[in-house]
Chains A and B, each alone.
Chain A
Amino acid sequence: MNAPLAITPETPVASAPPLLRIEGLSKHFFVKLGAFGQKSAEVHALDDFTLDIRRGETLSLVGESGCGKSTAGFTILQLYKPSRGRVVYEGVDLATLDEKALRPLRRKLQVVFQDPYSTLNPRMTVGEAVGEPLLYHQRATRVELSSKVEQLLGDVGLSPRFAMRYPHELSGGQRQRVVIARALACGPEFLVCDEAISALDVSVQAQIINLFQDLQERYGLTYLFIAHDLAVVRHISTRVAVMYLGRPAELAPKRSLFSTPLHPYTQALLSAVPEPDPARERTRRRMVLKGDVPSPLDPPSGCRFHTRCPLAIDICRAEVPAWREVLPDHAVACHRVGEAIPVPGA
């Protein structure tokens, strides 16, 4: 096993070999349509997704619901079998492995879901929930178990007495801590956090964000942080990938993305985020996108964003834009990069 490198989120290392290499990953679902399911259609949930996840970084995936960000996370973890493409981890393409061969690798690739209410077995105590993976993966003997559980609970900021409690006795924030402790019990290298803080109250959200950052430092974890709250993403990320309708639109180090967003969709997303500042909010002009995200059953031709894009021209409707590195480490898929966006009334 490779020793995890201690890399702070401020120093992404582009030259080091990536932890995970994702190449052309696609996931299509088949759905039945019509009252009797006589017609079937293909949902393009994820299309041609390529990126490296660097050791020790927090890579955030952002976008609106249905953009494929959770599908990307689940397909990387092989919780969905990819329709096409490769996920290379420790020199092996995970997509070629069967369940049995995947099992020892799953220990290293863990996930924390959004809803801590439905991810814990209501009939297992906290101690049992956290202890189970320790026994399964033979990371503790029965004798060591309670002290290891205690240590893991301490890692996530819970006192040892929580081991005897049941999930219903805990608040949302405490449950999410238990879920994180259970993921840590496996000794992971890579953690997919799928909207892991979205269901929490504002005052508790900040605690869990801090916890994720502390654990990353202590254990050298790599995060794929799936989120829709851009303010949180700006706080926690090393790099950010913006997705739209199953395709990556832009990928950049955090500073570069928030200071120089290149894709019109990224600009629209940033412009839609409210700020806790009444004077600014009253005067600010938003770039409000028209309409809704189109259906992934029948995605638009060419650039999938062209139906809502204020800059769309003929080529955007006809051709899929190439993925280009425009600034250092900052890539975008847009025919119109660099064009100014007309702001109504400005």
Chain B
Amino acid sequence: MSSSPLLSVRNLEIEVSTRRGPAKVVDGISFDVERGEALGVVGESGCGKSITTLSLLGLLPPGARVSAGFALMDDRNLFTLSRPALRKVRGGRIGMIFQDPMTSFNPVLKIGDQLIEPLVYHRGLSRAEAWERAGELLRLVGIPGGEARLDNYPHELSGGMRQRVMIAMGLACEPPLLIADEPTTALDVTIQAQIVDLVKDLRARLGMSIIWITHDLALVSGLVDRIIVLYAGKVVEEALVDDLYAKPTHPYTRGLLASLPTLEGEETRRLPAIGGTPPDPGRRPPGCPFAPRCPLKVELCERAMPPLEPVDGRNSHRAACWVTTGAMEMAA
């Protein structure tokens, strides 16, 4: 039992209704999160990374719906849970940290009142017990003063402090899975480094699984065990973190890594940029969605979506590309 993954998502499809009819923003995504594993979900805006995790919590915005697939956690499909059962999952089994710590708090409630909510609701603690525990949580996430800060309102804290409070809230009930959606994007680089160190440290101490959603391939490299790369609603590559950076195989992953300027390494006059822009979800091309921007594309790419194929014969590293995985020869 304990050897099965904590979360299994299979063939997830999410449709959003638009004026031109339904658009498939997530198109057949499958992935597992093992117990204690940190998974990085990497992609650009519109690739479907955020909406995928929102669907797990039953938080899809109006007009969006899961049109196919399932997500198994604790032997239950998260997509078919009743509303009360889903409320037990949110915060209890899956904690969530959002990108913007400015808008994710209720501005007229003390942070203490917001922090004790999950403890009272999920753990059945009394207000006084929960208040005490909330103070411990603030110290756990490195907020000096601990419980003294529970009386503060969100606007009295800096962005970095607010993100720490959000992490404390996400971890309040010690959920086995923490989803972090670009939690450092709005923060300065020195504060980002503090938050990354904090999450690493908490993971080492508490042992939860993490899904870290980001567009930043540099940031996740030291933070996660495995990465899936999304493009236009599809998984285009998945690999253990070392393999992904050592041998990026999908042309999109290669392009992303090549176009990152770095602090080390040789300086180049021009950055090797990927041409064009990601396709509009309502107007995705048939075949491989990256084909219109791909320097390696062949005629087959525009006709048929390549399957995820093992790279170097290993199932832990797979890429969806006719050209670079040798899938084309096999199909021929």
Contacts and interface: CB of A to CB of B under 8 A. Distances in A.
Nearest to A231: B261
A275 B260 CA distance: 9
Given A274-B218, A275-B263, A64 B188 contact: yes
Interface string B194-231: 10110000000000000000011111011100000000
B255 interface: yes
Contacts, number: 126
B283 interface: no
Contact of A210 (B193, B256, B271, B277): B271
A258 B245 contact: no
A273 B263 contact: yes
Contact of B245 (A210, A234, A277): A277
Contacts of A228: 188-189
A258 B193 contact: no
Given A65-B188, A258-B263, A274-B219, A288 B197 contact: yes
A90 to B, nearest CB: 31
A277 B219 CA distance: 9
A202 B241 contact: no
Contacts of B216: 202, 274
Nearest to A9: B269
B222 A274 contact: yes
Interface string A282-311: 101010110011000000000000000000
Given A203-B274, A234-B267, A64 B189 contact: yes
A201 interface: yes
A281 B223 CA distance: 8
A346 to B, nearest CB: 15
B270 A203 contact: no
Contacts of B272: 206
Contact of A270 (B44, B241, B263): B263
A260 interface: no
Interface in B236-261: 241-242, 245, 255-257, 259-261
A275 B218 contact: yes
A204 B277 contact: yes
A288 B194 contact: yes
A275 B189 contact: no
Contacts of B278: 201, 203
Nearest to B227: A278
A98 B263 CA distance: 43
Contact of A202 (B160, B193, B223, B259): B259
Given A231-B262, A279-B242, A272 B189 contact: yes
Given A201-B215, A202-B256, A274-B218, A173 B261 contact: no
Nearest to A174: B277
A202 B220 CA distance: 14
Nearest to A234: B263
Contact of A235 (B194, B218, B271): B271
B275 interface: yes
B160 to A, nearest CB: 6
A268 interface: yes
Contact of B161 (A65, A230, A292): A292
A203 B259 contact: yes
B191 interface: yes
Contacts of B256: 202-203
B126 interface: no
B221 A275 contact: yes
B3 interface: no
Contacts of B271: 206, 209-210, 235
20 contacts: A64-B189, A201-B278, A202-B217, A202-B260, A203-B44, A206-B260, A228-B189, A231-B218, A231-B260, A235-B268, A271-B193, A274-B196, A274-B221, A276-B218, A276-B260, A278-B221, A288-B193, A288-B197, A289-B190, A293-B188
Interface of A: 64-65, 171, 173-174, 201-207, 209-210, 213, 228, 230-232, 234-235, 258, 268-282, 284, 286, 288-289, 292-293
Which 5 interchain pairs have the tightest Cβ spacing? A281-B222, A206-B273, A206-B259, A235-B261, A272-B193
